[in-house]
Amino acid sequence: MKDIFEYTSYRQYIADFYAERKVKSAFTWREFAKMAEFSSSVHLKYVSEGRFNLGEESVERVAKAMGLAGTRLEYFRAMVEFDHAGTDNVKKEVFGKMLSIAKQSNAKVIEGDAFRYFDSWKNPVLRELAPSMPGAKPLALARACRPKVSAAEVSESLNFLIKANLLQKDEDGNYVQTDKYVTAGPMEVAPVAIRGLHRQMGEFALDAIEGVPQAKRHFSGVTLGITQKAYDEIVAEADAFRRKVIEIATRDNETDEVYRLNIQFFPMTDKNGFKKG
């Protein structure tokens, strides 16, 4: 079984713990529940499936049943807290705690780099900008960014991008991308950071309406009345369009400017609960 620090979902950790024990013996959910002092034989099974949550006191019993202690116990508690957090701000705070606990044990949380990459607009922008400005120092890169940013912030972002293997330096000391583009993939925590990134980019889009000449920006929109079937088809078309844009953008190895494309499609009404009568 993987070390607990390779998990970000406590439910998956419980499921894998059970599966590991099941392979080695005639272990059952009933036995697991008994070890954790639950009266219901399927309680932990339902927790692993997302149907039930663990209460504060039961977290300790389940952790004890799985033999967790020290920083691994702290990390398990934090995973539960992360899962149950009600807002993105709380989730970000708790995930930072998870990273800190893992660091105490010289462990790395697999999704930590993805979370940090999507947590700030500076990382994706500088990943595109730095390779297009060979020999440029952090101050020059900072001045090239449209949102104001300091040279120190640029240096911090570049150091992270290299450490995360999202950029590397060639023999001349210039920045080179390791891959054409970055995607989050099926991860537990990256979506929290991505939602924050969308908020940041949405604010920049508002500023661009007045701050960027019309010849260098494109804004358009349409308000539609649609069905669920139409919604699904439109989203599929938007995904296909996004992939086509990536294909066009990655044909050339040179970059004149770094642009952000926001594809936004959201409801302007809420008819749930409305009854004809």
pLDDT given at position 38: 96
Chain mean position to CA 102 = 18
Give mean pLDDT in consecutive 10-residue pieces for the chain, a chain of 277 residues.
90 95 92 96 96 94 96 96 93 92 84 87 95 95 94 96 92 90 70 88 93 94 95 95 91 92 92 66
Q: For residue 187, count CB atoms less than 10 angstroms from its CB and return exposed for 0-12, middle for 13-18, buried for 19 or more.
A: middle
> What is the DSSP annotation of the chain?
---GGG-S-HHHHHHHHHHHHHHHS---HHHHHHHTT-SSTTHHHHHHTTSS---HHHHHHHHHHTT--HHHHHHHHHHHHHHH--SHHHHHHHHHHHHHHHHHTT---TTHHHHHHHH-THHHHHHHHGGGSTT--HHHHHHH-SS---HHHHHHHHHHHHHTTSEEE-TTS-EEESSS-----S-SSHHHHHHHHHHHHHHHHHHHHHHS-GGG-----------HHHHHHHHHHHHHHHHHHHHHHTS-S--S-----------S---TT----
pLDDT given at position 186: 58
Handedness of CA 25, 31, 37, 43 (dihedral sign): positive
pLDDT given at position 258: 96
Angle between helices 190-211 and 88-104 (to 10 degrees): 130
pLDDT given at position 24: 86
End-to-end CA distance of the chain: 57
pTM (2 d.p.):
0.71
pLDDT given at position 187: 66
pLDDT given at position 277: 54
Instruction: Tell me how far CA of residue 224 lies from CA of 31, 205, 263, in angstroms.
Output: 55, 22, 15
